[in-house]
Amino acid sequence: MILKASERGSAQNLARHLLNTQDNDHIEVHAINGFLADDVAGAFEEIEAVNRATRCKNFLFSLSLSPPEGAVVSNADFEAAIESAMQRLGLSGQPHVVIFHEKHGRRHCHLVVSRIDGTTLKAINLPFFKERLCQLSHELYLHHGWDVPKGHEDRAQSDPLNFSLEEYQVAKRWKRDPRATKALLQSCWSGSDNAASFQSALADAGFTLCRGDRRGFVALDDIGKIYSLSRWLGVKPKALEARLGDPALLPGIEEARENTPPNAATANPASAKTAFQIAEIDARIDILLASKTSIIIDQRRVPSGARSR
């Protein structure tokens, strides 16, 4: 079971995200423990109210629990994993909310815990929580008899095409497959050995190498979206500068946008073909999404107890 966690604030934004029916086929509020309120928004308001007595900015601890594809995990299994996680992090007994999401036939779980100790009115410190959760994740794979991901056995073997939430959201906004985008950029990088060859590879892929406002080197795509190369390539800024030179010698973002023709995609027959294929795919996606929405609406009309599992 993959465990991803973070300390955060913005309780009401998180509540809206967790209850977002647009990005999830089904949502189930499984538990609201330690609160007077009986709804997620009210519970998070209580956490914010208690936190006003502190100076803590990230007063929430958010954890997602995602079983491997195809695994059948009971509520009891999720609850046991949550209990173990809270115990190891020193959060046992803290007010918390548990929400299940189902998307594309896969079910995962979200846990949100208040970090504020109600007695001392101080935030509970969570040292090395990522390492502790990584160990627990490994134990859960072994306990359930699931195939352990290579990254758990050897960090060096973790999938280099994995992307962060920020990277996923950037790609999603512009209808790009984040994994394909990351693979494309990394292919340009691995196939080059200097600034000229990298710029050429990026240009063939529809990107322009330029200087970011605060992020050093960035790539600009043909619709003007910015990709931080350090983030998307997984390469440190010093390594980028060692191969590409001084970023100050490159055009800035606005200059690069001005020098990119608005019909650049049609200037190159291959690019025009790609643009046409993307438009076709987008049209198909719109049809499938409309069909999916209709199915979800029909399913929500059926009482939960009548659904077959």
Residue 138 is predicted with a pLDDT of: 87
Residues 6+ positions from 243 with CB-CB distance below 8 Å: 192, 193, 194, 195, 198
190: containing domain: 165-260
Residues 74 and 193 both lie in one domain: no
Quote the pTM value: 0.54
Q: Hey, what's the torsion of the CAs at 173, 176, 179, 182, to 10 degrees?
A: -90
Residues 140 and 206 both lie in one domain: no
Residue 309 counted as domain residue:
no
Residue 261 is predicted with a pLDDT of: 57
Residues 178 and 114 both lie in one domain: no
Residue 99 near residue 28, CB atoms below 8 Å:
yes
Q: How many CB atoms sit inside 10 A of residue 204's CB?
A: 12
CA 272 to chain centroid: 31
Residue 210 counted as domain residue:
yes
Helices marked H in the chain: 11-18, 40-51, 75-88, 129-144, 150-153, 165-173, 178-190, 195-204, 229-233, 237-244, 253-258, 264-267, 269-300
Residue 229 counted as domain residue:
yes
Which of 137, 157, 177 finishes a domain?
A: 157
Residue 108 near residue 64, CB atoms below 8 Å:
yes
Residue 174 is predicted with a pLDDT of: 47
Q: What stretches in the chain show pLDDT beneath 50?
A: 156-159, 161, 173-174, 263-273, 304-309
Residues 131 and 73 both lie in one domain: yes
Residue 55 is predicted with a pLDDT of: 83
* DSSP tally for the chain: helices H, then strands E: 13, 8
- CATH for 128: 3.30.930.30
Residues 151 and 194 both lie in one domain: no
- Tell which residue, 208, 231, 232, 228, has the closest CA to residue 218: 228
Q: How far is CA 198 from CA 114, 192, 248, in A?
A: 47, 5, 17
Q: How many CB atoms sit inside 10 A of residue 39's CB?
A: 14
Q: What is the pLDDT of residues 91-101, one digit of tens each?
A: 999 999 999 99
Which of 102, 137, 157 finishes a domain?
A: 157
Residue 308 counted as domain residue:
no
Which of 138, 157, 176 finishes a domain?
A: 157
Residues 74 and 122 both lie in one domain: yes
Residues 6+ positions from 223 with CB-CB distance below 8 Å: 174
Residues 174 and 45 both lie in one domain: no
Residues 70 and 117 both lie in one domain: yes
Q: What is the pLDDT of residues 147-194, one digit of tens each?
A: 877 665 555 444 454 555 555 555 554 455 667 778 888 888 988 888
Residues 153 and 169 both lie in one domain: no
Residues 183 and 146 both lie in one domain: no
Give the count of domains, the chain.
3
Residue 259 is predicted with a pLDDT of: 74
Residue 135 counted as domain residue:
yes
Residue 125 is predicted with a pLDDT of: 93
Residues 17 and 147 both lie in one domain: yes
Residues 127 and 197 both lie in one domain: no
